[in-house]
């Protein structure tokens, strides 16, 4: 065997690269920061990360629920029909969690944001009043509380201990 390389053979440092390339690695062009509009368009109202954490914790504790029941005001995130309880998982920014480090009004267009968030807060209060007038208990879990497993465990325990008044009434009326 000769020590000369065969024509067309690549050296070990060229393997896996384009034979026509000059040895430079190509990069994808840098993308600039997202505009506010692009960023806000990516924020969704359903199946958010905090909501999924709450759902997994409650499901793991043995609780079963419905999602986004459109028959109820405000389309609650979780609905427990037996005890007539609903759970809202509120984002600290969008629902104005006062005193929270996750809530602050943006510095650009502050007046517009203040008015928008105030409308969200008024809508939340109306939805809560409508649900309570309809005989539903409302639980609000804030985004900043989701990481605290003790809070989720206490909510699960409260939901498990709440009597299922609706089911007992149905059974009694069917018997008697």
Rg over CA atoms, the chain: 28
Asked if residue 4 is part of any domain, the answer here is no
Distance, in Å, from the CA atom of 3 to the CA atom of 10, rounded to the nearest integer, reads 14
**pTM score, whole prediction:** 0.68
Asked if residue 50 is part of any domain, the answer here is yes
Asked if residue 62 is part of any domain, the answer here is yes
Asked if residue 29 is part of any domain, the answer here is no
pLDDT grade for 75, boundaries at 50, 70 and 90: very high
Average pLDDT over residues 110-137: 94
pLDDT attached to residue 17: 53
Q: How many CB atoms lie within 10 A of CB 16?
A: 7
pLDDT attached to residue 76: 93
Distance, in Å, from the CA atom of 150 to the CA atom of 145, rounded to the nearest integer, reads 9
The total of structural domains in the chain comes to: 1
CATH number, domain at 118? Answer: 3.40.960.10
- Mean pLDDT rounded to a whole number for the chain: 79
Convert the pLDDT of each residue in 89-123 to its tens digit. Answer: 998 888 989 888 888 888 888 999 999 999 999 99
Q: Is the pLDDT of residue 68 over 60?
A: yes
Listed as own residue / partner, the contacts of 161-169 with beta carbons closer than 8 Å and 24 or more positions apart are 162/83, 162/85, 162/137, 163/83, 164/82, 164/83, 165/83, 165/84, 166/81, 166/82, 166/83, 166/84, 167/82
- Range from 8-17, 43-52, 120-129 carrying the lowest mean pLDDT: 8-17
Asked if residue 18 is part of any domain, the answer here is no
Q: Which domain holds residue 140?
A: 45-175
Distance, in Å, from the CA atom of 42 to the CA atom of 50, rounded to the nearest integer, reads 16
- Find the largest Cα–Cα distance for the chain: 102
* CA proximity to 87, closest of 97, 76, 96: 76
Asked if residue 165 is part of any domain, the answer here is yes
pLDDT grade for 161, boundaries at 50, 70 and 90: confident
Q: Is the pLDDT of residue 57 over 60?
A: yes
Asked if residue 92 is part of any domain, the answer here is yes
Asked if residue 1 is part of any domain, the answer here is no
């Amino acid at each position: 065997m000769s020590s000369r390389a065969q024509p067309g053979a690549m050296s070990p440092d060229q393997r896996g690269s384009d034979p026509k390339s000059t040895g430079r690695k190509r990069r994808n062009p840098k993308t600039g920061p997202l505009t506010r509009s692009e960023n806000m368009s990516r924020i969704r109202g359903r199946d958010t990360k905090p909501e999924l954490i709450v759902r997994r914790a409650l499901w793991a504790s043995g609780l079963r629920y419905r999602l986004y029941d459109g028959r109820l005001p405000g389309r609650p995130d979780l609905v427990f029909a037996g005890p007539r309880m609903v759970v809202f998982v509120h984002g600290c920014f969008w629902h104005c969690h006062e005193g929270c480090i996750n809530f602050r009004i943006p510095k650009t267009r502050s007046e517009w944001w203040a008015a928008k968030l105030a409308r969200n807060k008024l809508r939340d209060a109306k939805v809560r009043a409508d649900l309570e007038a309809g005989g539903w208990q409302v639980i609000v879990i804030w985004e900043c509380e989701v990481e605290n497993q003790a809070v989720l465990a206490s909510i699960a325990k409260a939901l498990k201990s709440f009597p299922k008044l609706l089911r007992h009434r149905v059974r009694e009326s069917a018997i008697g």
